[in-house]
Amino acid sequence: MIVTRFAPSPTGRLHLGHAYSALFARDAARAAGGRFLLRIEDIDAGRCRPEFVDGIFEDLAWLGLDWETPVRRQSAHMDDYAAALGRLDAQGLLYPCFCTRAEIQAEIAAAGGAPHGPDGPLYPGTCRRLAPSERAARIAAGEAYALRLDMAAAVAAAGPLDWHDRAAGRVAAAPQRFGDVVLARKDVPTSYHLAVTVDDALQGVSLVTRGRDLFEATHVHRLLQGLLGLPVPEWLHHGLLTGPDGRRYAKRDRSLTLLTLRESGCSSEEVRRMARGHPSE
């Protein structure tokens, strides 16, 4: 049974690009006689707003979508992410990182630069090298810390992995290009990579459809699945819908939210047609 999902973050109103992605996931489930889920990715309490959650429900219902209830909201499932972190910690693959952004930048500048990964310069590994006694003392002193994955150790523990994307075919996982990713932030006890991987497994998602801007992230998700013994779905990363100016839609384009289109008199049918437009290759 194919299970797909649309997993927006309630940090703004949905725009046409979201409509494309939601319809894509729903259509993929429908074409296979499968199930379509909606998930609210609201781990970032500083940026997510309840009114945007309401807006997601309102906009998607207006577009003509329906989804299974109850809708999973990540903020209500921190225990699941803590359990996954516990399993990784038991394998010795996590370490606390006390660095601030400024300290990381200073360290990279002092070293004359750092290799770049898909998310920017790689973490130089400062806190990976701390002595256990220093870690314990800083934690005992109440210093805030993130949890990072020791990428080299994780890749060695997991062995070679690959994954299947319906558009790109078989892909050899290369998560090492991300360096020691943060799996629990200082302010939130999880991260995008961890929460999305745990949720897709717990919800039985078998086909992850999402924009090609998240293609690289799948290397990390595949690694986490390997380390946590989770089922491995298939992926289908779709092109991103672009506006008449050739730029992809983004939350900054306020005028193109589904709300403003609706308020300016567009019917849901017209918006569905626009949203099924021509994603970039």
Which residues contact ligand GLU by CB under 6 A? 7-9, 41, 196, 210, 214
Q: What are phi and psi of 234, to 5 degrees?
A: -95, 160
> Nearest 5 degrees, angle CA 145-CA 221-CA 27?
130
CB 32 within 8 Å of CB 2: yes
The least distance separating ligand GLU from the CB of residue 86, rounded to whole angstroms, comes to 23
Whichever of 89 and 213 has its CB closer to ligand GLU, that residue is 213
Whichever of 92 and 120 has its CB closer to ligand GLU, that residue is 120
CB 102 within 8 Å of CB 152: no
CB 252 within 8 Å of CB 19: no
Q: Residue 258 corresponds to which tokens in the numbers above?
A: 């589904």
The least distance separating ligand GLU from the CB of residue 216, rounded to whole angstroms, comes to 12
Give the 3-state secondary structure of residue 190: coil
The least distance separating ligand GLU from the CB of residue 259, rounded to whole angstroms, comes to 17
Q: State the amino acid at position 81 in one-letter form.
A: Y
Which residues are identified as catalytic? 251
The least distance separating ligand GLU from the CB of residue 92, rounded to whole angstroms, comes to 28
List C-alpha distances in Å: 135 to 91, 95, 96, 210, 230: 18, 9, 7, 38, 30
Whichever of 38 and 196 has its CB closer to ligand GLU, that residue is 196
Whichever of 143 and 187 has its CB closer to ligand GLU, that residue is 187
Q: How far apart are CA 60 and CA 69, in angstroms?
A: 14
The least distance separating ligand GLU from the CB of residue 46, rounded to whole angstroms, comes to 15
User: Residues near 56 by Cβ (< 8 Å), separated by ≥ 6?
Assistant: 8, 10, 14, 38, 40
Determine how many CB atoms are found less than 10 A away from the CB of residue 251. 15
Whichever of 125 and 239 has its CB closer to ligand GLU, that residue is 239
Q: How far apart are CA 25 and CA 38, in angstroms?
A: 10
